[in-house]
Amino acid sequence: MNLKQLLDDKVTAAMTAAGVPDAQAVVKQAQRLEFGHYQVNGIMAAAKKQKTNPRELAEKVLVQLGDDVNLCLEVAGPGFINITLTPAFLAHTLQKLQPSERLGIDEEPGKVIVVDYSAPNLAKEMHIGHLRSTTIGDAAVRILEFLGHQVVRANHVGDWGAQFGSLLAYMDQLEKQGEKPSSELKDLEKFYQSASALFRTDETFAKKARNFVVKLQSGDEKCLALWKEFIAESTRHCQAVYDQLNITLTTDDIMAESAYNDDLPKVVEELKQRDLLVESDGAQCVFLDEFKGKDDKPLPAIVQKSDGGYPYMATDLAAVRYRTNSLNAHEVLYFVGTQQLLHLSQVFAVATAAGYISKEQRFRHLPFGWVLKTDGTPFKTRDGADVKLIDVLNEAVDRAYKLVEEKNPDLSPEDKKNIARVVGIGAIKYAELSKNRITDYIFDWDTMLSFEGNTAPYLQYAYTRIRSIFRRENISSRDISGEFHLTDEAEIRLAVKLLQFSEAIDGVIEDYQANVLCNYLFGLAGTFMTFYEVCPVLKASEPHRTSRLLLCDLTARTLHRGLNLLGIETVEQM
RNA sequence: GCGCCCGUAGCUCAAUCGGAUAGAGCAUCGGCCUUCUAAGCCGAGGGUUACAGGUUCGAUUCCUGUCGGGCGUACCA
């Protein structure tokens, strides 16, 4: 149930009845309190087209809308219609919403949607740069699944590139020296750096490394065994991060680059059959008119390199082919950084030309910016190394623990630990999700862990305040029944907010901007906090007490569900 | 050079296919805990929306140009 949509349909119909062709009501949530709850913005544009006076047209539309006891309608300004929902209508609508497990969110006919996200390079440990794709992608996955879609999580990890030569050569060397690589592998990042350093300084080692790449890709057994050992260890590292971050990805969702290995020659062959391939400087390329490089020269999509190797264009095309042909995806979402914009538009264009993508299948790149430090430079350590994601997560939990101890020293150590985990991790994820996806994002401990303002802890705290009310009287949320009676302004404002949850969800899905949901939840929590200050619940007389308990319960469930869809947990007290 | 993205309060960010007086938080200042958790609430100050034009009844939003920043621009991913 989407109130805005209902009103839009109603007003649009009234406009049509008033003689407006192709009527569009354009109903929005009102931007100011004095304008009511919703406003109709479409009258003025329609009047313009018809060359009539907008206020007069608005009046005509009002007549068509007729008497509706649920709505107060008013023509305002240059030709808006302001809509105020009556307390009785709000109470009635909440009454219907109250028992709903889904909080008024309709289930959609399920589509198969592949979500490509996280995708770390297994040669190294996950670093701060993976935070965005992983959290945003996982939120999208959770929301789409809640809406009833059949979501395929696709973790397109990098496990097949040239850098694995050095790593395998290094493992091999350690083994020959009688050492167990497994203990060295515990710090993957150090391992990677040691191997890379050898590659740069030791010519014999470098030769061996290159040799290992060739052996690996040609299926040498010993080499594959080493590789598998390495990948297994690296995968464990990733999973530890996902678990700590409360990400729904598991090892089953890994569809690695190497998995497409056998498909790569087929892709090249199919492109050739479609007459798309051109050899240029020894490389197999697809040239499409819309892609231009420097000096307006045609820009190729290189599918096979002059040395016979396959670049990631080939792998990505194979992935498209698999997702459409085998997974029968209706929609595929790529949560991949903005720097891949050209690459992915080439992938989609070539795949379309090759017939891998049909007209009904929708491929979308949902790009995002960089994670920066407070001084605006890339988020790296002093010596320019990537910051390990696991270290960042641990620091968040440590910081949160100190805060819990400060604010609520009487809690048990186990409770404190759990709260620190939920709050610390929530803070990191929310800081990320609550900002615009496209722009760069400044990672600032002080902002996200000050735990004030538009942060996860603020929302989590609002939730605990509600739970505390129920705990105090030992009431379960299931126990309360009765009717909504909305009299106080704070109650009415909370009621309207609660009814707008599905509008927020719809808003996120339009462009996968999770911050739309964050903004909604922050608004809901703020509205609740005000209500909490001015409307006593337990001490109120009936029927207000029951009505307020119902409002509290619905708010708690909405906050819980909303945070859950963002991949953020709640606690009962903090 | 060309292409894409970005530029909003001191800082971090909002602003729902163009809507009414551009909103929050942080920081600053002033109030509120014998009353359901003060990680809270209420209030004040703070803006030429980078700049210049244009379209429109109406522009942070659309168009053109300028400046500033980021990314990309043939065999790394």
What is the per-residue DSSP string for A480-541?
A: --------SHHHHHHHHHHHTHHHHHHHHHHHT-THHHHHHHHHHHHHHHHHHHH--STTSP
pLDDT of A236 > 90? The answer is: yes
Backbone angles phi, psi at A562, to 5 degrees: -60, -45
What is the CB neighbour count within 10 angstroms for residue A54?
19
- What pLDDT is stored for residue A178 in this prediction? 83
Say how far A551 CA is from B59 C1', in Å. Answer: 40
> Which tens digits make up the pLDDT trace of A87-128?
999 999 999 999 999 999 999 889 999 999 999 999 999 999
Strand B contacts in A 118-147 (CB under 7 A): 121
> Which tens digits make up the pLDDT trace of A196-206?
889 888 999 99
Say how far A287 CA is from B13 C1', in Å. Answer: 42
What are the counts of helices (DSSP H) followed by strands (DSSP E) for chain A?
A: 21, 13
Find the angle CA(A211)-CA(A235)-CA(A397) to the nearest 5 degrees: 135
CATH of region A3-85: 3.30.1360.70
> Which tens digits make up the pLDDT trace of A485-528?
999 999 999 999 999 999 999 999 999 999 999 999 999 999 99
Across the range A339-366, mean pLDDT stands at: 96
CA A213 to chain centre: 35
Across the range A386-391, mean pLDDT stands at: 91
Say how far A341 CA is from B72 C1', in Å. Answer: 8
pLDDT of A449 > 80? The answer is: no
Average per-residue pLDDT for chain A: 93
pLDDT of A382 > 80? The answer is: no
Across the range A341-360, mean pLDDT stands at: 96
Say how far A541 CA is from B34 C1', in Å. Answer: 22
User: What percent of chain A has pLDDT above 90?
Assistant: 79
Query: A96 burial class (0-12, 13-18, 19+ CB within 10 angstroms)?
Result: exposed
Confidence of residue A189 (pLDDT cuts 50, 70, 90): confident
Structural class in CATH, domain A112-123+130-158+258-365 = alpha beta
In sequence order, which residues have a C-beta less than 8 Å from that of residue A87 and are 6 or more positions away?
A486, A487, A492, A495
pLDDT of A477 > 90? The answer is: no
Query: Where on strand B do bases come within 7 A of a protein Cβ?
Result: 1-7, 12-21, 24-27, 35-42, 56-58, 70-77
Q: Is the C-beta of residue A300 closer than 7 Å to nucleic acid chain B?
A: yes
Report chain A's C-alpha Rg in angstroms: 28
* 3-state helix/strand/coil string of A225-288: HHHHHHHHHHHHHHHHHHHHHCCCCCHHHECCHHHHHHHHHHHHHHHHHCCCEEEECCEEEEEE
Say how far A42 CA is from B57 C1', in Å. Answer: 13
- Cα dist from A213 to A87, A207, A238, whole Å: 70, 10, 23
3 state DSSP class of A83: strand
For A213, the enclosing helix (H) or strand (E) is helix A203-217
A338 nearest nucleotide via C1' and CA: B71
Strand B contacts in A 86-105 (CB under 7 A): none
Candidate from A13-17, A376-380, A537-541 with smallest mean pLDDT: A376-380
On whether the CB atoms of residues A430 and A245 are closer than 8 A, the answer is no
CATH 3.30.1360.70 placement within chain A: 3-85
For A155, the enclosing helix (H) or strand (E) is none
Q: Is the C-beta of residue A538 closer than 7 Å to nucleic acid chain B?
A: yes
Distance CA A512, CA A557 (A): 23
Q: Of A555, A37, A118, A107, which is closest to residue A335 (Cα–Cα)?
A: A118
Q: Is the C-beta of residue A5 closer than 7 Å to nucleic acid chain B?
A: no
A46 nearest nucleotide via C1' and CA: B57
> Which tens digits make up the pLDDT trace of A2-19?
999 999 999 999 999 999
Strand B contacts in A 136-195 (CB under 7 A): 158, 161-162
For A334, the enclosing helix (H) or strand (E) is strand A331-334
Report the interhelical angle of A163-176 vs A203-217 (nearest 10°).
110
Go through A24-53 and write b for each residue having 16 or more CB atoms within 10 A of its CB, e for each that does not. Answer: ebbbbebeeeebbbbbbebbbebbeeeeee
DSSP A479: T
pLDDT of A53 > 80? The answer is: yes
Q: Is the C-beta of residue A537 closer than 7 Å to nucleic acid chain B?
A: yes
- What pLDDT is stored for residue A219 in this prediction? 87
CATH 3.40.50.620 placement within chain A: 112-123+130-158+258-365
Q: Is the C-beta of residue A468 closer than 7 Å to nucleic acid chain B?
A: yes
Distance CA A417, CA A414 (A): 5
3 state DSSP class of A328: coil
pLDDT of A451 > 80? The answer is: no
- Cα dist from A490 to A10, A295, A468, A552, whole Å: 27, 62, 20, 12
Q: Is the C-beta of residue A45 closer than 7 Å to nucleic acid chain B?
A: yes
Q: Of A308, A259, A304, A312, which is closest to residue A286 (Cα–Cα)?
A: A304
Strand B contacts in A 421-450 (CB under 7 A): 423, 434-436, 438-442, 444, 446-447, 450
Strand B contacts in A 365-424 (CB under 7 A): 369-370, 374, 376, 400, 403-404, 407-408, 419, 423
Say how far A303 CA is from B65 C1', in Å. Answer: 40
Distance CA A458, CA A468 (A): 15
A519 nearest nucleotide via C1' and CA: B14
